[in-house]
Amino acid sequence: MTTKGTPGRVVRIDDETWAAYGELCAEEGTSRADDLRRHAHARVAAWRKKQAMQRRLDKLQASDD
C-alpha cells in the first residue's frame, strides 16, 4: 500500500528505458508514477467511450430490425 492509499503495482521495464523515462518525466516536471497513471486513465477513458458508442450502435441496429 502506498502513502496515498492506492496499491503499488509491479511493472517490468529494463533499466536503460526506466532511467531514460525518469529523465523525460523530470524534464516535463512530473514523476514516472504520475505519468503512468495519466496514461492508464486516458487509455481506459478512450476504451470506455468506444464501448459506449458500440453499445449505442448495437441498440440502434437492434431497433432497426
pLDDT one-digit tens code per residue, 17-50:
999 999 999 999 999 999 999 999 999 999 999 9
Backbone angles phi, psi at 6, to 5 degrees: -100, 145
List the grid coordinates of 21.
523515462
Give the model's pLDDT for residue 3: 66
Q: What is the CA radius of gyration of the chain?
A: 19
Amino acid symbol at 16: E
CA distance 2 to 4: 5
If you average pLDDT over residues 50-61, what whole number do you get? 94
The pLDDT value recorded for residue 29 is: 98
The predicted model scores a pTM of: 0.78
For position 2, what pLDDT does the model report? Answer: 60
Nearest CA to 10 out of 31, 36, 30 is that of: 36
